[in-house]
Structures are given as C-alpha cells and as structure tokens.
Amino acid sequence: MHVGFIGLGVMGRPMAQRLAAAGTPLVVWNRTPERAAPLRAAGALVAADADEVFARCDVVLLMLADEAAVDAVLGRGTRALAARVAGRTVVHMGTTSPGYSHALETDVRAAGGRYVEAPVSGSRVPAEEGQLVAMLAGEAGAVAAVRPLLTPLCRQTFACGPAPGALLMKLSVNLFLITLVTGLTEAFHFAERQGLDRRLFLDVLEAGPMASGVSRMKAPKLRERDFAVQAAALDVLKNNRLIAEAARGARLASPLLDVCHALFEETVAQGYGGEDMVAVLRAIEARTAGAP
C-alpha cells in the first residue's frame, strides 16, 4: 500500500523522512518543491502535484499549516474533492479548530472517502527521533487501519473516539504545554534578573520534582539564548487562539492561557514569530524594560 504525505514543513519533513527510512512506500508532495529533495534521496517518490499523490495512494497524510491549506490540497468545495478522496483515507495531522475538522470529516465521507484525525504532540526534535505522541479520532475501522502506519513516528498512539475528539485532546495538551513553557521562561527571567547564576538555577530545577522532558529540552535554549525553532512562536500563538476559541465556545474560563496569549502576541508583534516558543522571553524582557 502506497502512503501519501503532503506538507514538508518543520514537522512534516522529519516525519516523512522517518516513514521513508522505515521502508514505507511513500509518495510526497510539497508546495515548495526543494523541500522534497531529502525525501527523494531517502527513496520516496516525489509527486508533481497533489493530484498525483491521491492517484497513487490509498492513504494520504496531511501535515499542513492551516485550514486554508488543507482545503486547497483537497479541493474542498469543488468537484476535485470527490476525485481525490473517493476510496481513500485522509489523515489530518495538523492542528486546526475542532469544528473545522468535524465539518471536514462530513465532506470527506460524503465524497466517498474515510477520515481520521491524527494530531501529534511534540516538536521538531521528537519528530526527528520518532518520539511523537499521536491522538487519533474517527470511525473505528479507519483509525485501526491508520494506527500501525504511524509506528515509525510515534512512541505512543491513543484512540480518542469520534472526531473531533483527537483535536480536543491535542488542544488540552497544548494548553498545558503553553503555560508550562511560559512559566519556565518567566522563572528563568526572574532568576537571571535577580543576579543568580543561570546554569545553577537550571541545575537546581533539573534536580527537583519540576524537571520534565519539556524543561530538559527548553532549559538549554534559554541558557544559551538559542531561539532556533523547534516549535515556532507563531505556531504557538495559533494554537493559543484555537484553544481560546474552544474555551469561549464552551463558556470555559482560561485565565493562564489568556496571559500566555497576550505574551505570544507581543512576541510575534516584535518580529520573533519564526523563533522558538522560548522567544516569549523577549516579550517578558520588554515588559520588564517598560516597567515603572
């Protein structure tokens, strides 16, 4: 069975490379063709366009930036949708609003296709190492068929019931991630501005009960002011907005998320949206500089 993979960005490319390395018969396409070069070298077939991916594959994984990109690739709202998805399984791995995904499932199934939500938890490094965590939702048979395909990418997969259960789970996880990293960054800023040795502070943190996989990944970046992207601040802001919208729709309070939302908006407004999420440090520093 050939598997299609569309979207070779920060996350998509290492994910596709792991599939190719595992021997998955892979057909890839990306709007920017040069991003597909490493996949060609890894043995994947590089398609000329999205239509070729759907023509050759029974299952197509989409790791795309936003809802507009998904709609464009699928030809949603046009006759192209049925031509592309009929008889195939569409696996939506990006992060979009739960409402959008639920409506997309309806359209894909009406066009004769099957649909699985499969957002992942993890950033670029876990993607490179095959240590992502996938959440899957959709019709049980489709989920069962897709789950083994994700083994090269994930250390664990979880079935989350019907769509949009997986995206709601992803947003819940991301709420914790966003507040966790922002809290770590603010604590680092506090310690540094109090004159403490930055390395010593992070060593004490590592020795205590607050240490985690996230702190071990982000602490060295804070210490070295390394803002090279693992999870971009702009993407975090997008996730923050999606969580906030879901919270408002359910009439839920999200006070910590709202503070993080403001800080990431400031980070992006300052021109740092393409940097790693620890660049929220820049917004905190700017607030300190402007404090009376």
Contact 67, 97 (CB under 8 A): yes
Contact 276, 233 (CB under 8 A): yes
Tokens 């006759």 belong to which residue? Answer: 79
**Is there a catalytic annotation at residue 170?**
yes
Contact 62, 93 (CB under 8 A): yes
Residue 187's Cβ-count burial label (10 Å; 0-12, 13-18, 19+) is: middle
The C-alpha atoms of residue 168 and residue 162 are separated, in whole angstroms, by: 11
- Nearest CA among 143, 99, 141, 140 for reference residue 117: 143
Please give the DSSP secondary-structure letter assigned to residue 119: -
Length of the chain: 292
The C-alpha atoms of residue 213 and residue 267 are separated, in whole angstroms, by: 24
> What's the sign of the alpha-carbon dihedral 160, 165, 132, 211?
negative
**Which tokens is 60 given?**
């197509």
Task: Please list the active-site residues.
Answer: 170
